[in-house]
Structure 1
């Protein structure tokens, strides 16, 4: 079975608070990177800038996953340390407000890394 073809399709698979949190992530990323191209990669919403990966996010039962590529995670390691992390990911639990300012700053950092 094929996965979602668009971010709208992906988001349609969620409802309630999880959907609202995913919508907030999408809005924060798009506001920080209005030139980024939105797509689906690795089965999740993905953003590219100048054809280079910017950030990704995904919804899960207990958290929103955020993927800022290796240099994004390295640059924000101290702030991400407050959250559970996986290889190349940080998990924002549904039990706490999304750190949208942190997401914005990470996106802006990644833009700077891409455009130098």
Structure 2
């Protein structure tokens, strides 16, 4: 009634595990953390915070193995909007840093969150 399958299944990967590149969880978290910090760096540079930018750039360089590209592209957003965006980005970076147990990045992210919270509460 049914004809037996005579060809190899396309879903079988037995014996082919070396052909597909895989990254470890740590590598994926490093990439994600570096991305969040790079986005935070762009907003920090737009706000004109040189010292904060340098701290973030050092962390991005540590994670990526190369210094980050920095540019002075201005979005034209208000300082309040930029501080809110930076606070959210620092929060995301803090979550990923905590997930991968990266103490230095977590401390930096928490410090940046505090900085932007202070700037938002000081704004009229």
TM class, shorter-chain normalised?
under 0.3
Higher helix share: 2
Q: Which of the pair has more CA radius of gyration?
A: 2
